Structure formats: C-alpha cells, structure tokens
Amino acid sequence: MRLAAFSLALLAALPAARAADPALPGITLEQAMADPDWIGPPVESMWWRWDGQSAYYTLKRKGSNLRDIWRVGIDGSAPALVDDAGRVDMDTASVVETGGARSAFVRNGNVFVRDLRSGTLTQLTRENASASRLQWNRSGGLIWRTGVDWYRWDGRIVAVAAQPRADDAPDATPPADALRDHQLRLQRTLAQIKAQREATRAQMDDWRRTDPTRPPAPIHLGKDVEIVDSALSPDGRWLLVTTRAKGAEAGRVDKMPVPVAESGYGESEDARTLVGRNDPLPHRLWLAEVATGKVRELKFDALPGIKDDPLAALRRAAGKDALKGNRPLQVGTGDDVPAPQWSDDGGSVAVMLRAVDNKDRWLATVDLANAALQPRHRLHDDAWINWSFNDFGWLPDGRMLWYLSEESGWSHLYTLRGTQRSQLTDGRWETSQVAVSRDGTSFYFLCNRAAPIDYEVCAVPSAGGAVRELTALDGVEDFSLSPDGGKLLVRHSAAYLPPQISVLDAQGGPARQLTDTRSDAFRALPWIQPQYVQVPSRHGAGAIWGKYYGPTTMAPGRKYPIVMFVHGAGYLQNADMRWPDYFREQMFHNLLVNEGYIVLDLDYRASQGYGRDWRTAIYRWMGKPELEDYRDGLDWLVETHQGDRDRAGIYGGSYGGFMTLTALFQAPGVFKAGAALRPVSDWMQYNHEYTSNILNDPELDPEAYRRSSPIEFADGLQDHLLIAHGMIDDNVFFRDSVLLTQRLIELHKDHWSIAPYPLERHGFVHSDSWLDEYRRIHALFEDTLRP
C-alpha cells in the first residue's frame, strides 16, 4: 500500500475504532482465552502445485494438534482437503532446475523429481532418513544430503557422492614412534606384512579412482574433530566441511525441575547453559577434493579485522588478558546464519562467517585451486550483528553474488560481480526474504517502504533500477514464485484476519484472495480496530510507532484509566498491520476498552522493523530506552487521549515481563499496577546467544548486567505486582521468578503475588491456564485502576 504520509491525522482515519456500546455483544474474557480454534485456523504454510494452477497449504485441525493439507485453485475455486490419494501425487516446496523443465522436492524425507512438462513424478529414494539441501547442476543432475552423506542422481541412478568422516584415514602416517621403528627394523617379516598391506591399499585406491562405477572413497577429517556441517558442489567435485573440536566443553547444562509428570514422580530435564558459562564452540573449515580425498584447511587469517578485539577496553577494565591471534568464529550452517552457497555450475562458492563475539560478519568466496578464502564483504557493528538479514546467494549465471547488509543502518540488497559492488535498494526501510527470478533478471523481496508497519512484496531489476511495490495488501507475511515465475502466491494478514492466501501476477496488479478460514462467530463480533499512531519521543528517538485502542467518542471531561502492553522478544514487531502474535492480548484490549479503559501497545526501542540504530539502542543497558519510550507513551495518552496519569497499569510477557518489572522497580509510582508474565528478572540467568550479544559476557561487562537486571532494583517496588510463570518454562526458567520471590520476601515487600502454572512452558498452550492468568491480570487492573 503506497501511503503518501503517515501523519497522525491520516492514521486516525484508518479503520475507525468502534465506540464502546453496551448494546453490542463484545468479547468476553472466557472466549478471548479459549482454545483459538473458535477463531478459525490461520494458513501456516503454503506452496505451489507443480503446474502453477493451484496451491497447497496447511491448517490446524479443529480440536487437535494435527495439521491437514488443503488445495485451492488459483481461479478462486473452493478449497478441498487433500486425501490419502492426493498426498501420493503431491509436491512440497521445490527447487526448479535452471532450464525450468523439472523440479525436485523432499516429501516425508524422500527425494522426488517432477517433469514440469508432462507432470510425471519419479521417486528417487525410499528410506527412513530425511534428505535435505537439494540442488540441481548445469548438466541436469541433482545432489542432496542424507545424514552426513551426500548423494547424486544423474538422470539414471542414485549414487553416493561424498562421505565425510570424523576419523583418520587408514593410510594416514602414524606419529613418530621409536619403538615401532625399532621393531620393523629388526623383524623383516613384520616389515614385509606392512609393505604388502600398504600395496594392497594403494591398489584399491587406484582402482577406485579409475573406475567410474564405484563411489568415491570416504573423506577423512581426523579423529580429533566433530563434523558440524558440509556442502557439496553441484558437480560433485568439491566438499566444504565445517568442524569443531571433538569433546569441546560447551558449558554446564542446567537442570529444570518438572514437578507434575505422567510418572507421578518429580522429574527434571536437561536445559540450556547460562550466559557466560561457555562461549559457542568455534569452527574450522575444510576443502576436500572428492575424487582424491585430499583435504586442506581454509584458514581465516585473510579476513579483515579477524585479529581486532572489539572488547579490548572492557577486557582491560576487567583485568583480563588481551586477545591473542584470530578471534574465534563460526561458519554459517543454515540456522541463524545461512549455509555455504554453491553456484549451479560448481565453480563458485560463498561462505558466511560470524565472530563468536558477534561484532563482525564476513562474506567470502573460495579459491578452489589454492584452498584459500577470498574476503568479499565485512559487516561490523559495535553493538551486535543482527540475527536477521543475513541472506546471500548466486544469480543463475554463477558469477554475480547478492547479499543483505545493515551497513547503511537499514537492511538492503547488494550485488557483487568481481570487484564491482552495487546497492540495489536504499532508504529508511528494510529489505528481507529475497527471491531471485528464474532467469536472474529480477529480485523479489519483502519491503516496508511506505511505513515501517506496512509490508508488501517489492521487486527490482538485478541490473539496478527502480524498486516497485507489487502488492497493496498492507500485511504481507511471505510469498512464493510459481514454478514458471509468472505468478506470486502471497500469505498476508490484517489486525483481525489470520494469515490467508492470495495470488497475483508476478509483475504486480490486483490480488485474488483464495482463502478465508475465519469462523462466522469470529467475523460477527464488533472488533475495535487499532489506530496506528506515532508517539513523539522526548528522548531523541523520533517517533515511536504503536497501536492505540480506545473509544471513537471520548466523554467530555472524563479521564480514562490506562493499560500499556509490552510485547515480548525485544526484537519483535507488534505495531505492524498484520495479524498480531499477541492476538489473545488484542482481544483482551477490546474487552478493556468496552469496560472504559484506553490501551497503548508500543514498538519500543529494540523492536524489529525500524533499522539498526533502533535495534541496538539497548546495547549494554536493557530497560533504559524502552522505559523512556513507555513514559513518553504515557505522557501522550494523558495529553491527547484524556488518559488518567494516576490510573496507569502495564503488563507483558517474556521481554514484556522484564519491562514490567523494570517499570515498577525503577519508576515507582508511575504505574500503579503491573503484571509480569514469564519475566526475566536477572539477565545472568538467561542464555548466552541472546544475552551476550546485547550485554557482552558477564565477566567482561558486569555493570551492563547490574543496571539491566530488575532484581537489582527490587527495593523500588511500591505498587501492585502480579508475577505469572510456567513452571516448566525452558526459555526463561521458572527459577527466575523464584529468585525474585525470595528477594521480595527478604525486602519485606507487599502488594505482590505469584501465580505458578505447573504444566506450562514459555508459551502457554492450555486454555485453562490462559484464562486463569488473564482473570488475575484483569482483577489486578480492576482493583487498582478503576475509580
């Protein structure tokens, strides 16, 4: 949607908020917290049928955790449940070969090939192990990985392509041993046996190399390593292997009590390590020539800044030794960082590497002949490198490399051809979810150009040019190009529309909605549409985007009690125009407005969608800028929406629970009540990967942990606090709330309570627990904020 300006006046004119009207039956707390099956299931995933004339998608089955597969024609015909016979001939998300004649996909772990001209389906594997990493080569062959082994299909047979092994080669030269040498010198027969054994092995190796009917020999990486990942070139010549030291100490694993279990006994589960207990294990990278088994290490010395220490000042202040040599790093394996990407011709490969301290990210290619990394791009961030916007890959020509980078302050798309670098997108908006057209002439991607909260599908020529918005749906979640590249399948949503599917021409134009899975009961309710607002910051942050819920007509002279909601995760966007992750909370906000409250939900500093500086504003001091934003939001409600400053409450879960504690402990009297759900109270108790990015290592930066952890400021509590926490939460441990409980007891605090939920993890799944929790939140606000 192209919006000329997102002014407050325009935003107020977006779908108007309904005034509270006793004659209209609004949502009840019981219904809002019931099993969400009553709403209708969202479309969870989608993909094209091979002929591009219909699409498949998954829906949760009512009253069950099972998922069903549905099919719908792009002509708008009625959706139909895929039965057993239909699943036998069903594609899943596929990769199309360069010429467009065939596609390949994995279904139930097995590999299939579809002829896109005739529709003929060929099954290549039938086994219990699951295949992954499918890629076509220029000769029409296909490779994939099952377990640690790689396989290839040449159009006729399936064969082993590469077998990396974490052991020594049988003919490896043993370490020097004076006793062995002495024995072989004196015992001629032993020496002859050894020579015959080596000759036999040499003959077998020679026969294997010269016999194309035999698979290549295993590739031996050594017995002192563990294989983390591997990537085979599509032509089968080269294998990249990522390893870590065998038996390396990954840190002490915590134990989480499970008080209610089927056995009738108290049990426990292994849980994650705590921050600072051990860094992520560093990687090494190897290049193996498959035909010969020759293995060479790809050294990291050439990476610019690899020997720099971004934490040197903190290290000195903590009395720690200076960093020596290269910083430890990890190679992308397809989790947070993409795995190595080979061009279709097997002549080029790109690798993303990330420093363990997460201050640097490198993109490098490999000189295959000389087994050397060739640095192509370095992204440095004094705070931390984003977990998102790390995508990269090759255009079909195998020569142009593309990648995303936040170097401008916003995620944008860049290309590299040799040393020539081009920036294809620019501006105060973010590029994500990049897809390349089959002919390589265009990039498709998600963008929020019109406003940070409005997501559309955009396109730009790979040679450079104008960016075009192809959709006008406001809340695009993701998209998929049809097998012939002519159409776009788009999953999109809105405030009261769970994700659905539409289809449109790949060049843009009107979209045809194919699904609407909402129930009649949900659609019939008179929902209060959120107003998308910009709250002015008094702390130099510019505008803080948010969603405001309130009556259309305010009673003259009346002051309204205020509830402020804080979303979780920190790096998450909840003020966008899509179906919210917190849909139950949105229904709760409807109930509150019907009862006379006004509600504000902010994308505080640290949230997703607003660029690098917004994300990293919390570096080394979590809670400070976010609390400033919420106090600015409170002032805005008082000044512009008749909010009652003396009757303000705050609540949220996870990071939102942390912020609720921060607000009550560090700004006593500002919020009269707060509900902290599954809250982090002490960042020393949280995981390493998340926390060390923002607060560094606790031994290097103890001040960052002290000033960011609510438990350090618990003495400031003077208002009403509810803590609610699942007892088998394996993300934010229940122990966090137990430790805070003990602290509050020792401080002789009152007006607080804790509600434990024995069968809930971090995200509640049982409607009974949801209802109990929100009854308590509702009662807290009614008791403390109502006149």
Rounded-to-integer distance, Cα 565 and Cα 652, Å? 6
Distance CA 451, CA 575 (A): 11
Phi, psi (rounded to 5 degrees) for 365: -105, 175
In order of 1, 280, 388, 404, 619, the CA distances from 570 in angstroms are: 27, 22, 14, 22, 12
What φ, ψ does residue 69 adopt, rounded to 5°?
Answer: -105, 130
For 167, the token pair is 């052991």
Give residue-wise pLDDT tens across range 682-694.
999 999 999 999 9
> Taking all residues of the chain, what is their mean pLDDT, rounded to a whole number?
94
| Whether the predicted pLDDT of 108 surpasses 50 | yes
- 37: closest CA among 498, 429, 421, 400? 498
Which amino acid appears at position 662 of this protein? T
Virtual torsion, Cα 500, 504, 509, 512, nearest 10 deg = -50
Could you tell me how many residues make up the chain? Answer: 787
**pLDDT digits over 271-325, tens only?**
888 998 888 999 999 999 999 999 999 999 999 999 999 999 999 999 999 899 9
Distance CA 32, CA 590 (A): 10
Question: At 518, phi and psi to the nearest 5?
Answer: -65, 145
At position 129, the amino acid (one-letter code) is: A
pTM for the complete prediction?
Answer: 0.93
User: Per residue in 558-613, pLDDT tens?
Assistant: 999 999 999 999 999 999 999 999 999 999 999 999 999 999 999 999 999 999 99
Q: Is-contact 72 57, C-beta < 8 A?
A: yes
* Residue reference for tokens 């602290």: 743
Query: Letter for the amino acid at 238?
Result: W
Q: Which residue has the tokens 């979810």?
A: 433
Query: Rounded CA gap, 54 and 90, in Å?
Result: 11
The pLDDT score that the predictor gives to residue 3 is 41
Residue 17 has pLDDT above 60, yes or no: no
8 Å CB contact between 526 and 608: no
The first and second tokens of residue 230, run together, are 């591997």
- Flag whether pLDDT at 210 surpasses 90: no
C-alpha to C-alpha distance for 474 and 45, rounded to whole angstroms: 19
Q: What is the pLDDT of residue 277?
A: 86
Contacts for 581 with CB less than 8 Å, ≥ 6 apart: 567, 572, 574
Q: How confident is the model at residue 787 (pLDDT cuts 50, 70, 90)?
A: low
Cα angle, residue 405 at apex, residues 402 and 410 outer, rounded to 5°: 130
pLDDT tens sequence across 331-380: 999 988 899 999 999 999 999 999 999 999 999 999 999 999 999 999 99
Question: 431: pLDDT confidence band, cut at 50, 70 and 90?
Answer: very high
Nearest to 584 by CA among 676, 492, 460, 496: 496
Of 167, 161, 156, which is closest to residue 146 (Cα–Cα)? 161
Rounded distance between C-alpha atoms, residue 309 and residue 326, angstroms: 9
Q: At what angle do helices 178-186 and 188-210 cross, to 10 degrees?
A: 100
